[in-house]
Amino acid sequence: MLSVGFFLGALALIGIPPLSGFFGKLLVFRTAADAGAIGGSGAVLALGLALGGAILTVAYFSRTWNHGFWGTQSEAVRTATYSPTLVAVVVGLAATLVIVGVGFDPVMGAARAAAEAALDRGTYVESVLPGGTP
């Protein structure tokens, strides 16, 4: 169970669809590409850095996977006992990665609504100072 949970978490951070990390990386790449299309030279650098970071993420998770789950087991690992609570936490987090990835539209809608509410100065001023500005 630990290896499955780690594997799903690694795939999510790498950005494999339909896991939750895919949409975050997609939005970063799309924003950088859109800014580069407008003519920002810094956006090309940002896009390159994001791509380099994605490649490094694949590299270090592959190395971690190989050393952690394909290497020789130590005595501590062979004799370890795992509580059902810890296994349930790993399974729950892995399931959350999949559920948020598959059902990303409601999450994105809630995030957009929160961002719009945070940027709406008029409503904020009205709720803090009834009647508007002093």
Three-state SS letters, the chain? CHHHHHHHHHHHHHCCCCCHHHHHHHHHHHHHHHHHHHCCHHHHHHHHHHHHHHHHHHHHHHHHHHHHHCCCCCHHHHHCCCCHHHHHHHHHHHHHHHHHHHCHHHHHHHHHHHHHHHHCHHHHHHHHCCCCCC
pLDDT band for 32, please (50, 70, 90 cuts).
Answer: confident
pLDDT band for 58, please (50, 70, 90 cuts).
Answer: very high
- What is the Cα 121 distance to its own chain's centre? 29
pLDDT given for residue 39 in this prediction: 62
What tokens appear for 47 in the block?
């896009």
pLDDT given for residue 92 in this prediction: 93
